[in-house]
């Protein structure tokens, strides 16, 4: 079943039920409107603390955008990119694209102007839909990317180089377009990167998206009365595929624009949320606020909250133990996945296996997993090797990149690039990443990108960037810098220099030391990890 069929089913069965709520905790709470009320005040488009939409309106909005795209000549196989912060418009736009038979191409909201252009070119995107947070970045490359693409703007005060989404879509039919879509049709392109940091375009069919919805519902048992609190960005396969569980069950979800401990508990309390997906830093911040007395559980209505699950990075067992001290009735799960395996769930712990916290779990619903050596031979239980997965959610390929595809696909098995070991009970534990990607607060940092930037500093002779363990973020980027002889460059100088980088890419530790290289000229990062791997945690413990 194509993923669009689930939306149309929900519109038929639950048309008047609220399906999505957007909450902006930075705005005054009394400002609450439905989508229809919001539209009546156009073109003012004032921001509101809370907006909501029903399944029926959701489907109508998707149909209107689909019909707009069709009027502009979009056809099956074309690509439409989405560059938006989480908002009530995000998912109707996504499904409007899919209803035309075109491919949705979500973009990371942290991309620089050059990265936006690179990804649009790589995926051969025909239309870009973007929001107010990205006007500056899109304007930088508008002359180039606008030569062969339409640019639609979602928000107030449309810039001159784009067309106004709200104005155009309001005049389009709300009836579903007559487009036949099958499981075998291409649906979406998501972006990932290897150790070099250059994005790869990951091609998925409708079968992948539909399977991920079933996986999420099977793993976490969403029912019609569940309410899912979604905090991570919707461009991320993790956030969207977890929301697919709400789509599958016809239940409500809340898009929270902000992740402070108070705003999380307030949203859970006010919206009667039953399921919350957190990243490790958010869970740790919430626990710290409770420990310090900044928040008190008795101030919130939380008895309905039944499940907290975490993904996107390793989870410290001590965190879950601490969590259960405050929330002893909570179910807990952790989810492992890749954008190449349509996000979370190809391996998951399972709510019944909290005694195995520390493991990523067992193969998920409809999935298989094995651990193999460099020749793709299955290794004995207890032996470290590379994790490979197989199932209906594996990508079709890296778009227009057969070489990269061949490197990770072995028949219908996907090599994850993660080293793992299976214990005697069949649970998988990650040992190390084969790739050098640093996962910090659930976001991927690519050392080569940071190294290349630092090498533009005339005071630096050589540099290596590695991940150091961090209690809150999982990992942080550390730059080992070898200065040129006679240089007087200081740590403060490097910190100032790195302000040209996006904040999330800036190294959080600067270490002045010689960079070791082997006989072939490669940086010996294993030596650096061994030398400095415990440094950050030890210092945090000393500070504690």
Q: What would the pLDDT profile of 53-112 be if each residue is shown by its tens digit? A: 999 999 999 999 999 999 999 999 999 999 999 999 999 999 999 999 999 999 999 888
pLDDT band with cut points at 50, 70 and 90 for residue 456? confident
What is the DSSP annotation of 306-348? -EEEEESS---HHHHHHHHHH-TT-EEEEEEEEGGGTEEEEEE
Average pLDDT in the 492-505 region?
93
pLDDT of residue 129: 98
Domain boundaries, the chain: 3-258, 307-433, 438-543
Question: At 190, is the secondary structure helix, strand, or coil?
Answer: strand
Domains 3-258 and 307-433 share a fold: no
pLDDT of residue 177: 96
> What value does the mean pLDDT of the chain take?
89
Question: At 211, is the secondary structure helix, strand, or coil?
Answer: helix
Which of 22-36, 209-223, 446-460, 465-479 has maximum average pLDDT? 209-223
Residue 394, phi then psi, degrees to nearest 5 = -70, 140
pLDDT of residue 432: 59
pLDDT of residue 195: 38
pLDDT band with cut points at 50, 70 and 90 for residue 193? low
| pLDDT over 50 (residue 41) | no
Alpha helices (runs of H) in 172-236, residue ranges in sequence order: 206-220
Give how far Cα 28 sits from Cα of 87, 267, 309, Å. 17, 14, 29
| pLDDT 10s digits, 460-474 | 888 899 999 988 888
The residue that leads in pLDDT, 472 or 252, is 252
| pLDDT 10s digits, 374-400 | 999 999 999 988 999 999 999 999 999
Average pLDDT in the 154-183 region?
94
| pLDDT over 60 (residue 43) | no
| pLDDT 10s digits, 316-375 | 787 888 899 999 999 999 999 989 998 788 999 999 998 998 899 999 999 999 999 999
The token pair that represents 104 in the structure block:
């949705």
In the chain the first and final C-alpha atoms are separated, in Å, by 53
| pLDDT 10s digits, 269-324 | 999 999 999 887 788 889 989 998 999 999 999 999 999 998 766 677 878 888 99
The residue that leads in pLDDT, 503 or 34, is 503
Query: Could you tell me if 106 and 82 are in contact, meaning their C-beta atoms sit under 8 angstroms apart?
Result: yes
The token pair that represents 530 in the structure block:
């061994």
Residue 313, phi then psi, degrees to nearest 5 = -165, 160
| pLDDT over 90 (residue 521) | no
| pLDDT over 60 (residue 30) | no
For residue 438, give the nearest of 462, 474, 463, 384 by alpha carbon: 474
pTM listed for this prediction = 0.82
The residue that leads in pLDDT, 435 or 151, is 151
pLDDT of residue 44: 43
Domain 307-433: assigned CATH number: 2.30.38.10
| pLDDT over 90 (residue 420) | no
What is the DSSP annotation of 248-304? HHT-EEEEES---HHHHHHHHHHHT--EEEE-HHHHHHHHHHHHTTSS-GGGS--TT
Of 3.30.300.30, 3.40.1440.10, 3.40.50.720, 3.40.50.2300, which CATH number belongs to 438-543?
A: 3.30.300.30
Q: Domain spanning 3-258: which superfamily?
A: ANL, N-terminal domain (3.40.50.12780)
| pLDDT over 80 (residue 532) | yes
Average pLDDT in the 114-143 region?
96
CB count, 10 Å around CB of 479?
Answer: 23
Average pLDDT in the 401-424 region?
93
pLDDT of residue 104: 98
């Amino acid at each position: 079943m194509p993923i669009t069929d689930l939306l149309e089913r929900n519109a038929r069965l639950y048309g008047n039920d609220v399906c999505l709520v957007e909450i902006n905790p930075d705005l005054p709470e009394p400002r609450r409107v439905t989508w229809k009320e919001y539209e009546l005040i156009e073109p003012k488009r004032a921001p509101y603390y809370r907006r909501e939409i029903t399944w029926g309106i959701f489907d109508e909005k998707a149909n209107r955008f689909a019909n707009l795209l069709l009027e502009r000549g979009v056809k099956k196989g074309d690509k439409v990119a989405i560059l938006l912060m989480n908002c009530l418009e995000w998912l109707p736009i996504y499904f409007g694209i899919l209803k035309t038979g075109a491919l949705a191409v979500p973009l990371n909201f942290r991309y620089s102007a050059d990265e936006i252009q690179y990804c649009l070119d790589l995926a051969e995107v025909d239309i870009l839909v973007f929001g107010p947070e990205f006007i500056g970045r899109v304007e930088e490359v508008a002359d180039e990317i606008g030569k062969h693409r339409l640019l639609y703007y979602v928000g107030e005060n449309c810039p001159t180089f784009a067309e106004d989404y709200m104005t155009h879509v309001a005049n389009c039919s709300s009836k579903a377009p007559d487009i036949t879509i099958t499981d075998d049709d291409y649906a979406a392109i998501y972006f990932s990167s290897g150790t070099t940091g250059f994005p790869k375009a990951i091609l998925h069919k409708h079968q992948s998206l539909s399977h991920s919805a079933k996986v999420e519902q099977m793993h976490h048992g969403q029912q019609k009365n569940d309410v899912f609190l979604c905090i991570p960005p919707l461009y991320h396969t993790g956030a969207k595929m977890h929301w697919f569980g709400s789509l599958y069950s016809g239940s409500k979800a809340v898009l929270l624009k902000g992740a402070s401990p108070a705003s999380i508990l307030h949203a859970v309390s006010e919206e009667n949320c039953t399921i919350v997906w957190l990243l490790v830093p958010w869970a740790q911040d919430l626990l710290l606020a409770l420990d310090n007395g900044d928040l008190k559980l008795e101030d919130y209505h939380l008895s309905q909250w039944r499940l907290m699950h975490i993904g996107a990075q390793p989870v410290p067992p001590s965190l879950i133990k601490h969590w259960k001290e405050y929330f002893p009735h909570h179910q807990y799960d952790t989810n492992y996945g890749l954008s190449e395996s349509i996000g979370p769930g190809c391996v998951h712990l399972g709510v019944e296996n909290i005694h195995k916290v520390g493991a990523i779990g067992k193969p998920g619903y409809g999935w298989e997993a094995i651990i193999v050596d460099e020749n793709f031979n299955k290794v004995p239980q207890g032996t470290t090797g590379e994790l490979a997965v197989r199932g209906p959610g594996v990508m079709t390929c890296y778009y227009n990149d057969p070489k990269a595809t061949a490197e990770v696909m072995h028949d219908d098995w996907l090599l994850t690039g993660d080293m793992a070991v299976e214990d005697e009970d069949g649970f998988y534990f990650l040992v190390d990443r084969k790739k050098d990607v640093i996962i910090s607060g659930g976001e991927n940092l690519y050392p080569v990108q940071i190294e290349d930037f630092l090498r533009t500093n005339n005071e630096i002779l050589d540099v290596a960037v590695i991940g150091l363990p961090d209690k809150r973020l999982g990992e942080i980027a550390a730059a080992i810098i070898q200065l040129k002889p006679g240089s007087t460059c200081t740590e403060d100088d490097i910190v100032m220099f790195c302000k040209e980088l996006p904040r999330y890419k800036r190294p959080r530790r600067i270490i002045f030391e010689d960079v070791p290289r082997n006989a072939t000229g490669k940086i010996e990062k294993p030596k650096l990890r061994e030398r400095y791997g415990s440094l950050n945690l030890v210092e945090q413990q000393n500070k504690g």
